[in-house]
Amino acid sequence: MKYPYALLAGLLGALVLALPAAAGEKTVMGWIEKVRIYPGNFIVHAKLDSGAEYCSLDAANLTEFDRNGEPWVRFDLTERDGQKISLERPLLRTATIKRHYLKAQKRPVIKLGVCLGNIYKETEVNLVNRTGFQYRMLIGRKFMEGAVIIDPSATYTVEPECKGAATLE
């Protein structure tokens, strides 16, 4: 073959042009975005984390209790501006979270409505004290799969605007 580099460049160019079509209806978002939490209609700054499988939310004053014989959790959310809300949600399960170089941790898992851009999903979220972290929420792969491509050079590219999102009570 006389021009192998030209052929390789042509194939790579075709691949790059085909990439958006392969992405389907995915939305490109920054690695940091605002999300809206339901119930509560509460804005949280979140890190889109392809290294995390599930969503994780900062929960202060986390308490497990029984309601009509069923396990529930009560916790507080605080945003950067100091706004606080308390939520009570049914406990779905307890997850064991593997952490790099640290001991595995057990965390309560609940279901919340999460709005990221115009994507609304009722999703499982594990609760943990994240006060040592800059962002109060991690959005994991299970939430983003099939819908989001992360641009690591961008932040705050979309506003959480989901129509008819407040279905969870």
Domains of the chain, residue spans: 26-155
Distance CA 137, CA 58 (A): 6
- What is this structure's pTM? 0.79
Instruction: Check if the beta carbon of residue 47 is closer than 8 Å to that of residue 135.
Output: yes
pLDDT in tens, the chain (169 residues): 555 554 444 444 443 444 444 556 899 999 999 999 999 889 999 999 999 999 999 999 999 999 999 999 999 988 777 888 999 999 999 998 877 777 888 999 999 999 999 999 999 999 998 777 889 999 999 999 999 999 999 999 999 999 876 665 6
CA angle 114, 80, 37 (to 5 degrees): 10
Peptide bond before residue 39 is cis, with ω within 30 degrees of 0: yes
Structure tokens at 129: 């004290």
Phi, psi (degrees; rounded to nearest 5) at 9: -65, -40
Instruction: Check if the beta carbon of residue 115 is closer than 8 Å to that of residue 165.
Output: yes
Residue with the two structure tokens 């605080």: 78
pLDDT at position 103 is 84
3-state secondary structure at position 68: coil
pLDDT at position 109 is 97
Residue 91: CB atoms within 10 Å: 18
- Determine the residue type at 14: A
Q: Does domain 26-155 have CATH number 2.40.70.10?
A: yes
Distance CA 57, CA 136 (A): 6
